[in-house]
Amino acid sequence: MLLKTACVCVRAPRLQQRAFSCGVAMAKSKFEYVRNFETDDTCLKNCYIVVRLDGRNFHKFSEQHGFLKPNDKRALGLMARSAESVMDNMEDVCVAYGQSDEFSFVFKRSTNLFKRRASKLMTHVTSQFSSSFVFYWAEYFTEQPLLYPPSFDGRVVLYPSNRNLRDYLSWRQADCHINNLYNTVFWALVQKGGLSTSQAEERLRGTVAGDKNEMLFSEFNINYNSEPQQYRKGTTLIWNMAEEVVTKKVKPANENEKEVHVTRTRRKIAAHHCDIIGEQFWEEHSGVLESD
């Protein structure tokens, strides 16, 4: 009996090795042809790759989590913080722009991250952003627990030139202005004017920007141009070179350990709430985009 037990103990590792070898062989088996069903989604070279995320069912999400109307600074701050997490994780993102429940991430034209596969880039950005949104939630919503996980959908679009890309970003900022102006007037009518949401919608039907600005000023003494830039212009994130002073402990020969201050330069993400449709921003930050 002792001999049989010893024999089993010796053979067990060989059985495990045989099973492992069989598994390796399966990877090169006749079934491997199924990989041919995968589509080639490599993004065209020399194009900016833009991954845009949008919150899914965020109207319901914002209501159930008590977002302030028309703008919630906590929510906008959390969106920007989640976007910074994406940029920290994927340094080939040269600029990101966000407003409301959306954020666009622009990968530089020369990137070869994930071999430029659209599905890899989109899923990585979406998962990193979503998990960061949940992770940092309590820092911004200190008194409101997260009731259920938020979700974001993503899409990938290519832009071949700086002009095309800037027009895309201008489109998103123009959308920010249009939506924010409408929401500012709408919620003023509801919160200060005592109208129901359906009455406010009817009141605004057919109005243009000038009408809305006049309504805000004459009825509620609100100058729309004095509203925070973050609400009117959105958030633009770019990389900047910044100097910082750090303290290090050193121990010179035959001396006691002491602290010294060292200045170093490093890349840091900078947030801007300004116009990106005109030329000034791009002239001041000429290194953001690659030359055509």
Annotation: binding site: 54-59, 100-101
Question: In the structure encoding, which two tokens stand for residue 69, read together?
Answer: 């109307």
Contact 50, 155 (CB under 8 A): no
Q: Which residue has the tokens 């212009």?
A: 233
For residue 136, give the nearest of 194, 90, 74, 57 by alpha carbon: 74
For 113, counting Cβ atoms within 10 Å of its Cβ (0-12 exposed, 13-18 middle, 19+ buried), the class is: middle
Residues 283, 46, 155, 270, CA torsion sign: negative
Amino acid code (one letter) for 244: E
- Cα–Cα nearest to 122, from 134, 131, 114: 114
Binding site as annotated, residues for GTP: 54-59, 100-101
Which H or E element spans position 106? strand 102-107
Beta strands in 187-287 (DSSP E): 235-250, 258-272
Cα separation, 99 vs 172, whole angstroms: 8
> Among residues 127, 128, 129, which one has the least CA distance to residue 103?
129
CA distance 95 to 150: 24
| Binding-site residue positions for Mg(2+) | 54-55, 101
Distance CA 121, CA 154 (A): 10
Q: How far is CA 35 from CA 24, 29, 30, 32, 145, in A?
A: 16, 12, 11, 6, 43
